Chain A
Amino acid sequence: AAGVIQSPRHLIKEKRETATLKCYPIPRHDTVYWYQQGPGQDPQFLISFYEKMQSDKGSIPDRFSAQQFSDYHSELNMSSLELGDSALYFCASSFGGTSTDTQYFGPGTRLTVL
């Protein structure tokens, strides 16, 4: 079965640079979530989209922005990167846009900021 696709899988950036992470949800899924997971920590919710509209916002820094496109893929744009942004970034997708839907996680993008 098709899974969530994230690219790139690994990304190395310098401080103050920008980065773009991409997420391709499972076919026919209409909801995308972004989570950030630091080393040894639990996933922290950043932002979500349902049918191309922002549906929920968590602890996403103002330096970050995201959107969901007409084909339902999503991009997380990160600017003025800081050392503390180094983490695993997961995208999850679901169908239905409700809190009873199962969220399926992608393999993640490991961002390292030097």
Chain B
Amino acid sequence: QQPVQSPQAVILREGEDAVINCSSSKALYSVHWYRQKHGEAPVFLMILLKGGEQKGHEKISASFNEKKQQSSLYLTASQLSYSGTYFCGTVLFNQAGTALIFGKGTTLSVSS
């Protein structure tokens, strides 16, 4: 039931773009995106609640394709501060509880 994130790692120069994918083998109810820097708490980025929904915050946006059971996180014109590990946390459709099931993460490194 753990979602699969791809790629595992991304190396970028400042100003470049990246896409991180999160796929599930089961129907998703919601997808929560977090960024975590080493040794720190995961920081909430955005939540997507229904199929086709796209959300954005400055240069970070995300989409949720309910049919494909997939969400993608888009980072445009990356900045050094974007470096970290990105996790998608999923809640399955018909899941009994509200806990997040996280993917293994995608490590993003941005250099100048």
Point out residues on A near B: beta carbons under 8 Å: 31, 33, 41-45, 48, 50, 55-58, 88, 90, 94, 97-108, 110
Contact = CB atoms under 8 A, between A and B. Distances in A.
Contacts of A110: 39
Contacts of A101: 98
Interface string B43-61: 1100101000000000000
19 contacts: A31-B98, A42-B87, A42-B103, A42-B105, A43-B100, A44-B102, A45-B99, A45-B101, A56-B96, A99-B95, A99-B98, A100-B30, A102-B44, A103-B89, A103-B100, A105-B41, A105-B44, A107-B40, A108-B41
**Chain B's interface: helix, strand, loop or mixed, by majority?**
loop
B39 to A, nearest CB: 8
Contacts of B87: 42-43
